[in-house]
Structure 1
Amino acid sequence: MHAFADLLNRLIYTRSRNAKLRLIADYLRATSDPDRGWAVAALTGDLDLPAVKSSTVRGLIEARTDPLLFSLSRDFVGDTAETVALLWPEPTRPPDDRAEAQGRSLAEVVDRLAGLTRPSAPAALAEMLDRFDADERYALLKLATGGLRVGVSARLAKTALAQAFGLDVDAVEEVWHGLSPPYREIFAWGEGRAAQPTPADVPVFRPFMLAHPLDDAELDLADFAAEWKWDGIRVQLVHVGGETRLYSRAGDDITRAFPDIADSFSTPGTLDGELLVRGEAQGHALGEGGGAASFNALQQRLNRKTVSRKMLAEAPAFVRLYDILFDGDEDLRSFSWQDRRRRLEAFVATLDPDRFDVSSLIDAEDFAALAALRENARQGAIEGVMLKRRDSAYVPGRRVGLWYKWKRDPLVVDCVMMYAQRGSGKRSSFYSDYTFGCWAEDGTLLPVGKAYFGFTDEELRWLDRFVRNNTVDRFGPVREVEKTLVLEVAFDSVHSSKRHKSGLAMRFPRISRIRRDKPAAEADRIAALERMIT
């Protein structure tokens, strides 16, 4: 446990990607099974320990220290685990008791946490916190509550594992979702003690092929095919061995949330597409959104463990297919895009047309004509255009020159800052989360969105000073500010929403400019946003 805590501590204070890779690789080579496997599971977000909740941790620390002190400290530090680890009182204990705690393995800690129930969690967690030092307490709480937030993505952790043992990271990804922590099979393969694991007869996730932003380049449409980029969530459908799985782009199994899709896919193969919800218009013309509702409609079904019959009826899901990776057990990923496209069109003809269709290609005579079509594609669930090299194989990750995404230009509106809140992690000392609003017809200011990115570090420091110097009220960690600062907000789309007082919800809002030159009274009105609703 001490070595894992030291790894997390070093990762927090290491910014270089290559340095993080070296730290993780060194740890994996120096650590034995199963500790290193549980460490990788924690870093990749594959460790599920449901008994301990954040409320449990808050209850424990508030019983041992001044709740106001904890609240103020948490607000300043920006992380509950770090705050509790530092504030937890050091108990008086015999030296041999301390030595026993230092010698406890990561696997022992994981086993203990995995065996807890909600009622037993508080006492057991407190006993463990009493035995550990501050760094180990931090690691324990991160393990127990999930979400390490140490600047390591799942892909980076897998890359470090591959580099540690001279493996191909795509080969690791290929079998990852067919295995379970603590991944003894992968380490045995990496150390030459066993053959490479295979995903045969298991509906495993395969890494997606991704696209680079197009930026300002112009491509020859003789070499590239163009198709619409739909505004849903990228998914992978797999049917192998009589079982169907539906995976998100991150490799999360979302089958249970979309039983209507899983039950409709029983043909052996692996498909790549966009998960969408049917709109009122069931046609496939672009002006009708290709039969797809906005992302806001899809969002009602995301992150649900169970789906009611009413929701299945009101928001029926379907998949607009982009590509085919496997046709039965035949691996098509080395085929060219145009050959895979022909196979996909033949494959989808055997599927339920109410649940599956193929993303149509865009007929444009040249790049200028394509640009005009893209700019006018504000109707329905369209984000922009995808450009795919006709001879490209399906390769994991982003490969230069093969696929490009050309998102439509964002919408822009001028809003007034209303509230601010401190960020988390490295931004915990700055007011970096801003709620902004537009004017209603009666002259009141209604919140329309919240954003915490889009500005530079220098602009963040300026905004932080503005918040501190113009606070008019406080509500816990939130500060209300004078309604004098105009922010130009960019966003992808806006939808009607019953959850917000303004009746609106923005999609991906971000601060694009600080309008110090513009009076707050000249900011946009709610009506301007309503005219942008798709």
Structure 2
Amino acid sequence: MRGFATLLERLVYTRSRNAKLKLIGDYLKATPDPDRGWALAALTGDLDLPAVKPALIRALVEERVDPVLFWLSRDYVGDTAETVSLIWPRPDHVPDTPLDLSLGAVVERFRSLSRSEAPAVLAAHLDRMDPEERFALLKMATGALRIGVTARLAKTALAQAFDLDLAAVEEVWHGIRPPYPTLFAWAEGQDEQPAASALPVFRPFMLAHALEDQRVDMAEFAAEWKWDGIRVQLVHAGGETRLYSRAGDDITRGFPEIAEAFRTPGVLDGELMVRGEAQGAEEHGGAAASFNALQQRLNRKAVTAKMLADYPAFVRLYDILFDGTDDLRELPWEARRKRLEAFAAQLGPEHFDVSSLIEAEDFTTLEAIRAGARDASIEGVMLKRRDSAYVAGRRVGLWYKWKRDPLTADCVVMYAQRGNGRRSSYYSDFTFGCWTEDGDLLPVGKAYSGITDEELKWLDRWVRNHTVQRFGPVREVDKSLVFEVAFDSIHASGRHKSGVAMRFPRIARIRTDKPAAEADRLETLRRMTT
């Protein structure tokens, strides 16, 4: 446990990506099984300790520390696990000698706990641990590491440490369960690469570079719409169907109708969306609602019959990786497109269709077509080299994404809250609003991205000097500062008091030059809705 705690502490204070890769790689090479496997599961989000929840941790610490002191400390620190690890009092009857448990022993103990057993066992462990080990245990138990390490970074560290191909690691990943004994046996040359052909495992997506200022030859590239849903991979193998998100998360349970409808062996790449009547959707390839409608289906533990009826999901297909057991990834895009169209003809049109191509004789024509696409379900244009194989990750010159230009609005800052991780000491999360016709200010969005470190420090000072009220960790500020907010699209929403919801809002500029009274009216935003 001590080694894992030291690893997390070093990762928290390490900014360099290469340094993080080395830290993780060195740990995996030096640590025996199963500890390194459980550590890797924690870093990639594959570790589940269901008996320990954040509410339990808060209840335990409030029994031992004055609740007001705890919440003031939590507000200052910005992270529950770090606050608890530092503020937790060691009882007088507990010996100073810390526990000397392996990570594997701790994980196995907590995996076997019932909800009723968890409070006593967790408290006993926290009593005997030092602050670094408490931090590691609490982060691991809640699954919210927030240490600047993504699942892909951890897999990259494994691949680099053992000289493995990252795409091969990702391909077998979902067929192996923590603590990954066969994965490490392969990594150390003790066994063959685990087989994935007969399992419904995730294959890494092919990704696109942003099209900056360059122009491409339309004789060499095909164009299709970039749809505004979530990228998914459909896999049917070994009699099972899986639906994976771009991050490789299994989201099959959330979309049972899609899984039920996909029973043809193969692997497809597409965009998961909800049927609707978005403006212009039929013109560009079929009725699809805005992302706001899809959000009603995301992250649901249970899907009701009403939800299935009100928000019917479908997949707009982009590419094909496997046709049955035939691996098509080495074929050029044009050949895969023909195979995709033939494969899709076997599927039900209620749940699947193929993304239509954009007919443009040259790049200038495509520019004009893209500029006119403003319906709710389109993010922009994809450009795919006609002879490109389907390769994992981003490869220069093969696929480009060309997002439509963002919309902007001038909004008044209303509330601020501290961030997480390295921003936990700064007010960095801002809620902003626009004026109604009656002169009231209603929230229209929340953003934390788009500002530099220097701007972050300036805004933090501004919030502290302009606070008018506090609501727990949230500060209300005087309504005098304007942000120019950029967003991809805006949609009508019955869940928000303003009646609108922004898609991907970010702070484009701090408008110290603009009086708050001259910020945009809510009616202006409503006219932008699609």
TM-score by length of 1: 0.97
* Deviation of 1:70 (Å): 0.9
Report the counterpart of residue 230 of structure 2 in structure 1: 233
Q: Secondary structure at the match of 1:127?
A: helix
Report the counterpart of residue 36 of structure 1 in structure 2: 36
Q: Distance in 1 between matches of 2:447 and 2:160?
A: 37
Report the counterpart of residue 248 of structure 1 in structure 2: 245
Report the counterpart of residue 190 of structure 2 in structure 1: 193
| Corresponding position: 1:62 with 2:62 | yes
* Deviation of 1:366 (Å): 1.2
Report the counterpart of residue 215 of structure 1 in structure 2: 212
Q: Distance in 2 between matches of 1:237 and 1:282?
A: 28
Q: Distance in 1 between matches of 2:328 and 2:382?
A: 20
Q: Distance in 2 between matches of 1:125 and 1:318?
A: 43
* Deviation of 1:43 (Å): 0.3
Moved more, 472-481 or 42-51: 472-481
* Deviation of 1:284 (Å): 6.3
Report the counterpart of residue 82 of structure 1 in structure 2: 82
Q: Secondary structure at the match of 2:301?
A: coil
| Corresponding position: 1:108 with 2:112 | no
Report the counterpart of residue 370 of structure 1 in structure 2: 366
Q: Which digits, 9 at most, give the CA deviation of each residue in 1:360-416, with x for residues without a partner?
A: 110112111111111211113000000111111101111111111000010000101
Moved more, 274-283 or 496-505: 274-283
Q: Secondary structure at the match of 1:245?
A: strand
Taking structure 1 as reference, are residues 78 and 344 closer, same or farther at Cα in structure 2, changes over 3 Å only?
same
Q: Which digits, 9 at most, give the CA deviation of each residue in 1:260-284, with x for residues without a partner?
A: 1111111110000000100137996
Taking structure 1 as reference, are residues 476 and 269 closer, same or farther at Cα in structure 2, changes over 3 Å only?
same
Taking structure 1 as reference, are residues 252 and 217 closer, same or farther at Cα in structure 2, changes over 3 Å only?
same
Structure 2 segments unaligned to the other structure (5+ residues): none
Equivalent pairs: percent with the same residue? 72
Q: Is the 8 A contact 1:276 1:298 kept in 2?
A: yes
Q: Distance in 2 between matches of 1:315 and 1:115?
A: 38
Please tell me the residue identity of whatever aligns with 2:162. Answer: F
Q: Distance in 1 between matches of 2:279 and 2:455?
A: 46
Q: Is the 8 A contact 1:324 1:344 kept in 2?
A: yes
Q: Distance in 1 between matches of 2:299 and 2:103?
A: 30
Please tell me the residue identity of whatever aligns with 1:38. Answer: W
| Corresponding position: 1:117 with 2:101 | no
Q: Distance in 2 between matches of 1:88 and 1:378?
A: 54
Taking structure 1 as reference, are residues 42 and 281 closer, same or farther at Cα in structure 2, changes over 3 Å only?
closer
Q: Which digits, 9 at most, give the CA deviation of each residue in 1:319-362, with x for residues without a partner?
A: 00000000000000011011100100111011101111110110
Q: Distance in 2 between matches of 1:519 and 1:404?
A: 40
Report the counterpart of residue 478 of structure 2 in structure 1: 482
**Pick from 141, 144, 147: which aligns with 2:144?**
147
Moved more, 41-50 or 466-475: 466-475
| Correspondence list, 1:135-534, <5 A | 135-280=132-277, 285-286=282-283, 290-534=286-530
Q: Is the 8 A contact 1:418 1:447 kept in 2?
A: yes
Q: Which digits, 9 at most, give the CA deviation of each residue in 1:415-455, with x for residues without a partner?
A: 01111111112111111111110000111111101111111
Q: Secondary structure at the match of 1:167?
A: coil
Please tell me the residue identity of whatever aligns with 1:5. Answer: A
Please tell me the residue identity of whatever aligns with 2:4. Answer: F
Q: Secondary structure at the match of 1:179?
A: coil
Q: Secondary structure at the match of 2:483?
A: strand
Report the counterpart of residue 50 of structure 2 in structure 1: 50
Taking structure 1 as reference, are residues 282 and 330 closer, same or farther at Cα in structure 2, changes over 3 Å only?
farther
Please tell me the residue identity of whatever aligns with 1:206. Answer: R
Report the counterpart of residue 97 of structure 2 in structure 1: 98
Q: Distance in 1 between matches of 2:439 and 2:208?
A: 44
CA RMSD of aligned residues (A): 1.4
Structure 1 segments unaligned to the other structure (5+ residues): none
Q: Distance in 2 between matches of 1:367 and 1:524?
A: 35
Q: Secondary structure at the match of 1:528?
A: helix
Aligned length: 530
Q: Is the 8 A contact 2:278 2:290 kept in 1?
A: no
Q: Which digits, 9 at most, give the CA deviation of each residue in 1:188-244, with x for residues without a partner?
A: 011111111011321000000000111111111111111000000000000111111
Q: Which digits, 9 at most, give the CA deviation of each residue in 1:464-507, with x for residues without a partner?
A: 12111111111111111111111100001111112211111111
Please tell me the residue identity of whatever aligns with 1:181. Answer: P
Q: Secondary structure at the match of 2:319?
A: strand
Q: Secondary structure at the match of 1:443?
A: coil
Q: Distance in 2 between matches of 1:271 and 1:515?
A: 45
